[in-house]
Amino acid sequence: MRRPTRSRYATVVAGLTAGVVLTACGGSGSLGGDDDEASNGAADDTSPVTVGLLVPTSGVYAPLGEDMQQGFELFLEQNDGQLGGRDVELEVIDEGETPDTGVPGAQRLIQQEVNAVVGIVNSGTALGVRDAFEEAQVPLIIANAGADDITGARSSDYVWRTSFSNGEVAAALGPRAAEDCESVFLAAADYAAGREATAGFERTFTEAGGTVAGSVYPPFGTTTNYQPFLAQMQQSGADCVYTFFAGAEAVAFTQQYASFGLKDSIQLYSSGFLTEGGVLQAAGEAATGVETSLHYTDQIDSPRNTEFVEAYRTAYDEAPTVYAVQAYDAAQALDQAFENGTSGPDVVEGLKAIDTIDSPRGEFGFNEGHGPDQTYYLRRVEQGEVGLVNVVVEELTTS
């Protein structure tokens, strides 16, 4: 995959950080809000900022991290390497697969007094770092991880999200699936995201009259053979299956679902991550006909999305994914927020003042818990002109 040509912003790879944070250049650290005159958010202050990008560059979610970095860098590329009129120093740290790597990665960025952090794929990591960001007063914009509590019971002024909540994506699909399916078998990766997604789906599917025939939770990050679970689905008598799998796990599950012979007999529904981006092309023909809910597909027919897809294709020679859009929109949010200053409290006030983000998914604003107020789509995998695509079937109503 091709990266855009280097712009004025600097990407710093984890580990090579000595002397990189730009406090010496007049940029404020983000802790405590005790800025000096030069960086207290005055309108003419254009001091540089350092942004930490915490995304997986290893493990089953590495392809998602690459998309997020590409989305974030595209916005910088389109804006002279600046956010809020300030030059940006970008420090990329590997989130890895689980909180065991993600939490220490976040702690390093906080210690380096970056002005804000963007990223985080894994819900467990998001839940594990939430308190540290609040205590250090460093703004975090989660550009994927969907842990429900992050914008619900455990919302914080210092934690924002441009992605989704796991329960909401899945709940949007339940009533629609119940129109065609009486009983469902639930299958999801065994960690916070999978558990929340199946709970969200089950709630609205059963409210709409459906029943649950069974459920399985294969271990996250280590399962490669889904056959024992597929046998249970077959024996359950369910007439549809709902899943949450993403990244490399999504490819393995979708391919084995088809080769086990279930593709044409039990309709497969999922949160859209199962069929997103490189994962979809890797799954190939096995994915055709799968129906998913998500807040984005590159097939959305709007001038804003067409312009974005073209720019992304020009930069990277591939179609954008939901992960790229979520990170692109995190850059848009920081672009507005840094107008208000660079200290943690100033950035938070700047985030609170945002009216709308002009996203390729459609304009959205932030809700009370600091998550996006957005539309979810029913998507179906079909053969497109160039490879497989997620066509928009209809908009889904959320509850």
Kindly state the smallest distance separating residue 271's Cβ from ligand PHB, in Å: 7
Phi, psi of 181 (to 5 degrees): -145, 130
Residue nearest ligand PHB (C-beta atom)? 246
Alpha carbons 92 and 95: distance in angstroms, whole number: 9
Q: Determine which residue in the list 28, 70, 122, 359 makes contact with ligand PHB, applying CB under 6 A.
A: 122
200 is a contact residue toward ligand PHB (CB under 6 A): no
Of 198, 179, 194, the residue nearest 241 (C-alpha): 198
Which window, 52-60, 111-119, 141-149, 260-268, contacts ligand PHB (CB under 6 A)? 141-149
Which window, 121-129, 285-293, 295-303, 346-354, contacts ligand PHB (CB under 6 A)? 121-129
Residues 47-106 binding ligand PHB (CB under 6 A) are 61, 64
Length of the chain: 399
Kindly state the smallest distance separating residue 22's Cβ from ligand PHB, in Å: 32
Q: Determine which residue in the list 145, 252, 330, 331 makes contact with ligand PHB, applying CB under 6 A.
A: 145
Kindly state the smallest distance separating residue 246's Cβ from ligand PHB, in Å: 3
Of 244, 357, 329, 248, the residue nearest 292 (C-alpha): 244
The answer to whether 347 and 115 are in contact (CB under 8 A) is yes
Kindly state the smallest distance separating residue 123's Cβ from ligand PHB, in Å: 3
Kindly state the smallest distance separating residue 122's Cβ from ligand PHB, in Å: 5
Q: Which is nearer to ligand PHB, 122 or 255 (CB)?
A: 122
Kindly state the smallest distance separating residue 59's Cβ from ligand PHB, in Å: 11
Q: Which is nearer to ligand PHB, 50 or 275 (CB)?
A: 275
How many residues of this chain bind ligand PHB (CB under 6 A)? 13
Kindly state the smallest distance separating residue 204's Cβ from ligand PHB, in Å: 18
Q: Which is nearer to ligand PHB, 87 or 249 (CB)?
A: 249
112 is a contact residue toward ligand PHB (CB under 6 A): no
Residues 273-332 binding ligand PHB (CB under 6 A) are 273
Q: Which is nearer to ligand PHB, 83 or 325 (CB)?
A: 325
Q: Determine which residue in the list 69, 166, 255, 359 makes contact with ligand PHB, applying CB under 6 A.
A: 166
123 is a contact residue toward ligand PHB (CB under 6 A): yes
Kindly state the smallest distance separating residue 172's Cβ from ligand PHB, in Å: 14
Kindly state the smallest distance separating residue 191's Cβ from ligand PHB, in Å: 7
Q: Which is nearer to ligand PHB, 48 or 360 (CB)?
A: 360
Kindly state the smallest distance separating residue 337's Cβ from ligand PHB, in Å: 23
Residues 208-227 binding ligand PHB (CB under 6 A) are none
146 is a contact residue toward ligand PHB (CB under 6 A): yes
Which window, 117-125, 174-182, 205-213, 262-270, contacts ligand PHB (CB under 6 A)? 117-125
Q: Which is nearer to ligand PHB, 81 or 272 (CB)?
A: 272
Long-range contacts of 55-58 (CB under 8 A, 24+ apart): 55/92, 55/94, 55/95, 55/119, 55/120, 55/121, 55/143, 55/327, 56/94, 56/95, 56/96, 56/97, 56/121, 56/122, 57/92, 57/94, 57/95, 58/94, 58/96, 58/97, 58/101
Alpha carbons 148 and 196: distance in angstroms, whole number: 7
The answer to whether 121 and 97 are in contact (CB under 8 A) is no
246 is a contact residue toward ligand PHB (CB under 6 A): yes
Q: Which is nearer to ligand PHB, 122 or 332 (CB)?
A: 122
Positions that interact with ligand PHB (CB under 6 A): 61, 64, 121-123, 144-147, 166, 193, 246, 273
